[in-house]
Structure 1
Amino acid sequence: MKRALLRSPLFLTLCLLVPVAACAGVLNALEEMTDENSAEGKLIRGANRLRKSWQDLDPSEEHYIGRSVAAEILAMPGYPVAKDEAAQAYVNKVGLAVAMTNDGVRQPFLAYRFAVLDTDEVNAFACPGGTILVTKGLVKKTASEDELAAVLAHEIAHVTLKHGVQAIQKSNLAQAFTYLAEGAAQATMKPEDLQQLTGLFDESVKDVVRTLITSGYSREAEAAADKLGREFLAGTGYDPQALTRVLARMQDAGGDGGMFATHPAPKDRQASLGAPLAYAGDGGAMQKRTARYAQNLKP
């Protein structure tokens, strides 16, 4: 039974989503649950331990799950990675500047990566663990490095606030663990059971993708990401009002689909931000940022 489990689709799916150390713990729990000589109580304890390992995701597990979410998005038609190496490098530097200079963002193993997608759709996707995808269409809505940083800071805030992880925790995982516990109590794990569980775990990742692309986060989540992102801007030395300017430009331009379909109206997001944060400014630094922006994000 244990050898069959090692080759099962469920175990392979779990290994794609979590690091090696976590997979070892998952395997141990599954072995206890599927050991035909184990008592019912031991089986249920194993199921509960496995359930907890997924409810309390650590940063490394977020990272690997986020990679799966990003891979799902990149495999979709219409979201190719832009081939502009200068733009990709520049966006990564700006994003990392925001991520690495703010308390609450610097978490172990939370490896931030940024990529520009070659589409005119105005959108961005914050995957769990720090993989952030931003479309060329959204980048074009910015007019300065500060505004680009504002777009990225909003997405970094989503990761910091674990909005993507919350989408996972509220998804098919609950059904999967209930089903797993029931199977454990019966001391059985048939091939059709494994197939159903594999589908449920796959759906847990796809739930995040659907949230990012189709339904979007709640108004409350978007407002929280806007406010925290603005704080990140100020903490990095960028103009915190840059986010307001991007939102105003989006409101004036209008549009449908993409971010316009999954986010609250830009004017409503502006209103939710409330009073502006103080910003002293630095003329010399601003000139350098203006030059960098013009050099790396050519029309």
Structure 2
Amino acid sequence: MQNMIRIGMVGFLILTLGCKKTPTTLEGQTLDKKEITSNIVVEQDIIDAFAQKHMGQILWHEILSKYPLYYQPELTLYLNEVGAHVSIPSLRKSVAYHFYILDSQEVFSLGLPGGDILVSRGLLQKIETESELAGVLGTEIVAVEKQYFLRLLQKDHPSESIANSLIQNKKKIAESYLFLRNNRFTDQQINEADRLGMTYAQHFGYIPEDFHQLLERLFVWQSTQKKLETGKYNYDILDHRRSMSQVIIRDLAKHQEKFPKTQDRYKKYKKFL
């Protein structure tokens, strides 16, 4: 039943979001995709795009065995609309991004090979503005675009065997999921994901400062937790990310006036959580 809902939702989103065109206009201003992507380096696929999608689907099944999918039509469409906007600068043409909500009070987000991006209800409940949401989705888009997960797997497997190792071994599937869920990327990758994620969001009119404020709130919240979250939202990594984001937003603030302003609609949709 979960998979049927997911398949139907994907089809609906493709039809809906596929109608959007570039250049995109916000409040009378136009964004040209060439301008947005002029300073972004194209990423080459580490392994075949279809193999990446297959890996992502295998991990999806593993995740759904642990967390149910949360589907509320208006909220899910909104999430995908924001994600589609933020993903415009991504130059990996082989990737189509889709965004889903997991029914869990844990605070986490995951970007799967192939472009499926998952956000927990727990994280969405802590978000207060659309710019904060755009920043979260932006960092996951970058993680998928730059293939961080696959690059870390390469340490144990040559490129051509990554997909086969995961596809053919159920134990490896479980291990890979836990690795993606609980471990961190390198400092360089974390910094790059936050910087580019905020940059992508800014190009559509979102405010990088808001994402920094989210990191600050999550850091304070984590400092009070007896059971700390793992992955990119644990206490130590949040401490690192909030410090680095201060540097990033100072640089991005110099260019904010170049971009249109987008309306903050998050409160309207947060009620569905």
Taking structure 1 as the reference length, what is the TM-score of the superposition?
0.64
- Sequence identity percentage: 25
**Cα distance, 1:297 vs structure 2:** 1.8
Could you tell me how far apart the structure 1 residues matched to 2:152 and 2:173 are? 9
Distance 1:244 1:198, change over 3 A: closer
Q: Which runs of 5+ in 2 are unaligned?
A: 1-44
Q: Could you tell me how far apart the structure 2 residues matched to 1:245 and 1:112 are?
A: 26
1:80-118 residue CA offsets vs partner (Å, 9 max, x unmatched): 11132221111111111111x21xx14233111110111
What residue ranges of structure 1 are gaps of 5+ in the alignment? 1-54, 181-196
Alignment map for 1:1-299 (pairs within 5 Å) = 56-76=46-66, 79-99=67-87, 101-102=88-89, 105-171=90-156, 173-174=157-158, 201-254=169-222, 255=225, 256-259=228-231, 264-273=236-245, 274-276=247-249, 277-278=252-253, 279-280=256-257, 285-286=261-262, 289-290=263-264, 292-298=265-271
Q: Distance in 1 between matches of 2:206 and 2:232?
A: 25
* Range 153-162 or range 198-207, more displaced: 198-207
Return closer, same or farther for 1:263/1:122 CA change in 2, 3 Å cut-off: same
C-alpha separation in 1, matches of 2:188 and 2:266: 32
SS of 1:216's equivalent? coil
**How big is the alpha-carbon RMSD for the aligned residues of Structure 1 and Structure 2?**
2.9
Inter-partner Cα distance in structure 2 for 1:213 and 1:222: 15
Tell me which structure has the larger Cα radius of gyration.
1
Does the 8 Å CA contact 1:151/1:243 hold for their aligned counterparts?
yes
In structure 2, how many angstroms separate the alpha carbons of the residues matched to 1:145 and 1:216?
Answer: 25
Task: Using the TM superposition, give the Cα deviation of residue 203 of structure 1 relative to its aligned residue in structure 2, in angstroms.
Answer: 4.7
How far, CA to CA, are the matches of 2:159 and 2:52 in structure 1?
A: 20
TM-score, length basis structure 2: 0.70
Secondary structure of the equivalent of 2:206? coil
Once residues 108 and 271 of structure 1 are traced to their aligned partners in structure 2, the CA distance between those partners, rounded to angstroms, is 33
Cα contact 1:216–1:263 (8 A) shared by 2: no
Question: Corresponding residue for 2:39?
Answer: none
Residue aligned with 1:57, SS: coil
Q: How many angstroms apart in 1 are the aligned matches of 2:232 and 2:135?
A: 17
Distance 1:260 1:129 in 2: 20
Greater helix fraction, Structure 1 or Structure 2: 1
